[in-house]
Amino acid sequence: MNRMIPPTQARKRYSQQLKLERWRVWFVIAGLLGLFAILLGRGLWLQVFNEEFLQGQGEARYARTLRLEANRGMITDRNGEPLAISTPVQSIWASPRSIALLPAGQTRPDDWEPESDKDPVPLSQDEVAKLARALGMPAADVVKKLGDPRRTNKGEVIKDKEGKPSRPDFVWLRRQMNPQDAKNVLALNIPGVYAQAEYRRYYPAGEIMAQIIGYTNIDGHGQEGLELARDKLLSGQTGSRTVIRDRRGYIVEDISTIVPPKDGETLALSIDRRIQYLAYRELNKAVSDFDAAGGSIVVLDARTGEILALANSPSYNPNSRAPIDPSKKRNRAITDLYEPGSTLKPLTIAAAMQAGTINAKTTFNTSPGALSMGGFTIKDTHNYGVLTPEGILVHSSNIGALKVALTMPRETQWNMLNAVGIGQRPGLGFPGESSGKLRPFKTWYPIEQGTMGYGYGLSVSLMQMAKAYQIFATDGIEHPVSLIKQPAPMPGKQVISPELAQTIRGYLEKVTQPGGTATRAQVVGYRVAGKTGTARKQSGGNYADKKYVGSFVGLAPVSNPRLIVAVMIDEPDIKKSIYGGAVAAPVFSSVVAGTLRLLGIPPDAPTNNILLPSPQDTKEDEAWVP
């Protein structure tokens, strides 16, 4: 056999015959080296020319942009006292898709291993019970949350490709736990259960400031009040961090510079928490004393137009997540409109005196206490006879105010109301801020011009009334009002002359003295001035029976006014009292007394100046009945 030939012999035989041609070797070498060259070319293309696309694809697969939450800014009062703060909390969430609940009695084997990434981890009932205990929830709730399939908006169960109910990747187990409790939950080491750091908003002032501050929802977005109006400023800017993660989710490296989160700014309000507390307490007391439907109070710094206190009743606790009655959420002092009634009379007098159509000595005959005009009868409580402008205010004569109004052109009266901000939004930037209703003067009939003279036929918010009274407190200057602390007073505009302002202030002081309608507004040690109002409420275009708004707008101290306080009590119980002088003036008195003391303002009437009239002498202004 051929194969058995000894090697030496074989070599000789073959090699004599086989001639290896050199060109074939070079041909094959050239071919192989050519292939290597192609590889190099391809490598160059992939790595140097197409790398952008490939790296993009890579990043799409393992780069993740993580959100870095910004801390929501704090809201403080004018002295830096916190009114809304964010505290770190932990929210526990689970991925139901990666968990399979075992029937009772079964446990996960110690050596259990997933066969693929998507295999759910079996979870024994025992573990679920432990988890529920740590979460402080009934075990049944936890089981339900972990077991519920995904649903469409209509509540239908979403099914996966195999027709089995699809399970969600994410479900909150419990939001906003305190960090220690959350740590205990995580310490159980239950697969598929994770924690997310969040911030919880806390309102130390609670219901006292509820309508001003508002609140955020559980995700930290402003829902009401300033939390909503200044959401952008408070929430800051979330930062981001782009990282590469390995397939198991661990962060390997940062691939771009970290954009740090920009924390929200601190919002310092003009509110003084102490005054706010006082105002809310006194208002709440009055509302409950008179069984009123509600009430509001505004305290303005007369020199700057800043709002020192703004309280509403009834209120709610913004720290509670329980559903809130929408009527409690309203910032009534800013959003709710009412007919100001007699509190508007000083503006009518001021307009006429400024225009020169009347002076301090002009007299008006209000006899016999009733006046028919354009089919309406306007009445006063008593027959006051002949009254000067001062008398009209002191006695709150409707007929007098109507006559004063009719001395001037419609435009003059409108200009005054417009100049003090009636019919315009106060510009607080607050959601739902009302502009009130002041019709263009060209549409006014004479009877309307007259009724507007004593505060009917137009509507205002309590904030607008407080703002309007600035001209009497500041020698005629009107400042823009503000809820935010101002580094310096905003420029105001001169509306009436200082002399006229002082004159009217004098009249208004008389209102609080015996013979006036607001003796209960007096404060020990200080001279105060103001005007009561009692207005019948409109409902559905008609004046409602037995529904009144009692209000008082005043200022103090008269010698050098620092405060403007407007109080409104909505629908006081008719059996108790409806008059502004009875329901609202006492609130004014206690708030002014407390506030002046808090601010350390020296008394301008150091001797005991309280002069109370005898009960039968008490004057009440009349609610107008059409």
Partner 1 sequence: MKAIFYRALKRIRPSMAAYDQALLWCVILLLTIGLVMVYSASIAMAEVDKDTGFRSTYFLIRHSIFLVVGVVAAFFSFSISTRTLQQYAPLLFILGVLLLILVLVPGIGREVNGSRRWLGLVVINLQPSELMKLAAAFYAADYTVRKAAFMGGDFWASITKGLLPMLFVMLIVGGLLLLEPDFGAFAVITAITMGLLFLGGFNWRLFAGLIVLLGIGFVGLIASSPYRRARVLGFLDPWQDPYGKGYQLSHSLIAFGRGEWHGVGLGASVEKLSYLPEAHTDFLMAIIAEEFGFLGVAVVVGLFAFLVFRCFMIGVQAAKLDRAYQALVAQGIGIWIGVQSVINIGVNMGLLPTKGLTLPLLSFGGSGIVANLLALGVVMRIDYENRQLMRGRKV
Please report, as ranges, the residues that interact with partner 1 according to CB under 8 A. 2-3, 7-8, 10-11, 14-15, 17-22, 24-25, 28-29, 32-33, 35-36, 38-40, 42-44, 46-48, 50-55, 57-58, 61-62, 113, 244, 246-248, 252
Q: What are phi and psi of 544, to 5 degrees?
A: -80, 145
Query: Alpha helices, DSSP H only, in 512-584?
Result: 580-583
Residues 624, 341 contacting (CB under 8 angstroms): yes
Q: What are phi and psi of 132, to 5 degrees?
A: -60, -40
Q: Minimum distance between the CB of residue 42 and partner 1, rounded to whole angstroms?
A: 5
Q: Which residue is it, tokens 């942009």? A: 65
What is the full DSSP assignment across 117-160? TTPPEEE-HHHHHHHHHHHTS-HHHHHHHHHPPPB-TT-PBPB-
**Cα–Cα distance measured from residue 538 to residue 339, given in angstroms and rounded to the nearest whole number:** 8
Q: Minimum distance between the CB of residue 33 and partner 1, rounded to whole angstroms?
A: 6
> Closer to partner 1 at the Cβ: 17 or 542?
17
Q: What are phi and psi of 91, to 5 degrees?
A: -110, 135
Apex CA 617: angle with CA 611 and CA 619, to 5°?
90
Query: Angle, to 10 degrees, between the axis of helix 345-355 and the axis of helix 398-405?
Result: 30
Q: Minimum distance between the CB of residue 49 and partner 1, rounded to whole angstroms?
A: 10
Strand-strand pairing, 386-387 and 364-365: antiparallel
Active site annotation includes 342? yes
Residues 6+ apart with CB under 8 A from 318: 203, 206, 207, 210, 213, 214, 215
> Closer to partner 1 at the Cβ: 32 or 544?
32
Q: Minimum distance between the CB of residue 256 and partner 1, rounded to whole angstroms?
A: 15
> Closer to partner 1 at the Cβ: 8 or 616?
8
Instruction: Give me the count of residues in the chain.
Output: 626
The active-site residue, picked from 86, 91, 313, 342, is: 342
> Closer to partner 1 at the Cβ: 32 or 611?
32
Residues 241, 275 contacting (CB under 8 angstroms): no
> Closer to partner 1 at the Cβ: 245 or 262?
245
Q: Minimum distance between the CB of residue 242 and partner 1, rounded to whole angstroms?
A: 13
> Closer to partner 1 at the Cβ: 51 or 156?
51
**Cα–Cα distance measured from residue 547 to residue 569, given in angstroms and rounded to the nearest whole number:** 11
Q: Minimum distance between the CB of residue 46 and partner 1, rounded to whole angstroms?
A: 4
Dig out the tokens for 537 from the structure: 């409420």
Catalytic residues, by residue number, are 342
